[in-house]
Amino acid sequence: MDNKIQKIKQGVYKTAVISMVVFIITLVLSGVFLTLFINEHQQERTSWLWLGLTVLSGIISLFTFFALIGGFTFLNANKDWKEIQKVRKKAALDWGLFYFVYASRIEKYSDSVEKESK
């Protein structure tokens, strides 16, 4: 297996694991902020700060969830990936917001291999 392919797979895996950790953290924070918002609302004091933080952490959680799905889908589809021309499910990286670097590396490496073969 080519060293560049191995580095791409390792980078995608690291990004997927980091996305999983951030997803769990933001999911917990969303729950905490929602609980604080509900407690403030029951005491007849509405603090919109907690609602804003709940929405913000929920949006971050959603983006990291899509990145998590995209990264692990790509890795699962390309378990035995040894040649750049045989990459599958590259579109899954486009769903994950944090994989644009690796998608461009695959494109660049694929273009260089095609030029060498001509």
Rounded-to-integer distance, Cα 118 and Cα 46, Å: 67
Tell me: pLDDT of 33 over 70. yes
Instruction: Return the beta strands (E) in 12-118 as ranges.
Output: none
Q: Mean of the pLDDT values across residues 45-74?
A: 89
pTM score, whole prediction: 0.80
DSSP codes joined into one string, 4-34: HHHHHHHHHHHHHHHHHHHHHHHHHHHHHHH
Rounded-to-integer distance, Cα 107 and Cα 117, Å: 15
Q: Mean of the pLDDT values across residues 14-27?
A: 93
- The neighbour count for residue 88, using CB atoms within 10 Å, is 13
Alpha carbon separation from 92 to 4, 14, 83, 88, 99 (Å, rounded): 20, 16, 18, 9, 9
Task: For residue 1, name the pLDDT band (cuts at 50, 70, 90).
Answer: low
Rounded-to-integer distance, Cα 19 and Cα 75, Å: 14
Q: Where are the domains of the chain?
A: 3-111
Tokens of 23: 């997803």
